[in-house]
Amino acid sequence: MSEDKPKIIIDEDWKSQVEAEREAAKAGEPGASAPGGSNQPTDATPPAAEAAGSPDGAQDDDPPMPPASLPMLVSSLATEALMALGQIPHPMTGETIARPNLAKYLIDMVAMLKEKTADAAEPEEAQAIEDILHQLRMAFVAVQKK
* Same-domain status, 47 and 98: no
- Mean pLDDT across 110-128: 93
Number of folded domains that form the chain: 2
Domain that holds residue 29: 12-52
Among 11-25, 44-58, 76-90, where is mean pLDDT lowest? 44-58
Q: Please write the tens of the pLDDT for every residue from 71-81.
A: 899 999 999 99
Identify the DSSP state of 64. P
Asked whether residue 76 falls in the same domain as residue 123, the answer is yes
**127 C-beta neighbours (distance < 10 Å), count:** 11
Work out the pLDDT band at 33, boundaries 50, 70, 90.
Answer: very low
Q: Determine the pLDDT at residue 131.
A: 95
Work out the pLDDT band at 57, boundaries 50, 70, 90: low
Q: CA 81, CA 104: separation in Å to the nearest integer? A: 8
107 and 139 part of one domain: yes
pTM of the model: 0.57
